[in-house]
Amino acid sequence: MLRNHGFVYREGKSYWTKTHRKWLAKLRLELEGPLQTALATELEHLEYIDTQCGALDSELERFAHAHPYRENVDALCCLRGVKTLTALTLLCEVDDIRRFRSPRSLMAYFGLVPSERSSGDRERRGPITKAGNVHARRLLIEAAWNNHHRSGADLILKRRRQGQPPAVVAIAIKAQHRLYKKFWKLDERKHRHVAITAVARELTGFVWAILKAVPQN
């Protein structure tokens, strides 16, 4: 709407940052007439949605830190790229990790394994099957993107891992180093989206390993 009237944001490279919000708020005061009314209405609607999202996030945090989710959520948050919402979503989808006998079975459940086509003695692999929950798979891929950074543990990860079982922390550290190396190795010879999908698939294996390491009630 603003671009159509010649108002283009040039004070930064990213939208919806604090700087961008300040620019919008300034425009809201400077504009006049119908355009000012339209912008004010859109910003008020955005503020309402932000408030709703904040309330939902608080409620999800409350559920995540209560029985029966707390132990598993805290354990999964030891993985780089996995925060409360991602952990809680995965747990709700998985339900009971004992349903999955191997990491590959969980990968297949989330649709992250390659599709296969057989013809006689030939077997060809194609794109991922995209079976299972689309939202959960998207969260795994978003989490995988965080593993293209260097694998040194940062302060936030160290805090998350405090008080967690040594076996869980060991798995998370192994994942941190392995996924970083896997991404850059594949990125050299594959399309970046193919590389990150492969990292998401392997991340799912570490999710399986961590949930198996946490005592299930």
Percent of the chain having pLDDT more than 70? 92
Task: State the pLDDT at residue 150.
Answer: 74
> Could you tell me which residue, 201 or 149, shows the higher pLDDT?
201
What is the per-residue pLDDT for 154? 80
Q: Which helix (H) or strand (E) holds 58?
A: helix 33-64
Are 47 and 33 within one domain?
A: yes
Is 120 in the same domain as 15?
A: no
Q: What is the pLDDT confidence band of residue 156, given thresholds at 50, 70 and 90?
A: confident
The per-residue pLDDT for 215 is 81
- Which carries the bigger pLDDT value, residue 164 or residue 156? 164
| 85 & 142 share domain | yes
| Shared-domain flag, residues 204 and 100 | yes
174 and 78 inside one domain: yes
- The whole-number pLDDT of residue 117 equals 60
Q: Into how many domains does the chain fold?
A: 2
Residues 41 and 85 in one domain: no
Number of DSSP helices (H) and strands (E) in the chain, helices first: 9, 2
Mean pLDDT, the chain, rounded, equals: 90
Tell me the pLDDT tens digit for each residue of 177-203.
999 999 999 888 888 888 999 999 999
pLDDT value for 44: 96
pLDDT in tens, 83-137: 999 999 999 999 999 999 999 999 999 999 886 665 555 556 666 777 778 888 9
Does 152 have pLDDT greater than 60?
Answer: yes
What residues make up the domain containing 150?
Answer: 68-213
pLDDT greater than 90 at residue 141? yes
Q: What is the pLDDT of residue 151?
A: 64
Q: Say yes or no: 112 and 91 in one domain.
A: yes
Q: Please indicate, yes or no, whether residues 155 and 104 belong to a single structural domain of this protein.
A: yes
CB of 199 within 8 A of CB of 140? Answer: no
Regarding whether 194 and 119 lie in a shared domain, the answer is: yes
Q: 62, 82, 104 — which closes off a domain?
A: 62
Residue 65 one-letter amino acid: H
Measured CA to CA, the distance from residue 59 to residue 159 in angstroms comes to 22
Q: Is pLDDT at 148 greater than 90 in this prediction?
A: no
Instruction: Write the pLDDT tens digit of every residue in 16-26.
Output: 999 999 999 99
φ, ψ at 127 (rounded to 5°): -65, 170
Q: Out of 40, 62, 84, pick the residue that ends a domain.
A: 62
Do 123 and 94 sit in the same domain of this protein? yes
pLDDT score for 63: 93
CB 63 within 8 A of CB 51: no
Q: 158 pLDDT exceeds 80?
A: yes
Q: 44 and 105: one domain? A: no
pTM > 0.75: yes
Amino acid at 74: D
Domain finish residue from 62, 84, 99? 62
Residues 37 and 144 in one domain: no
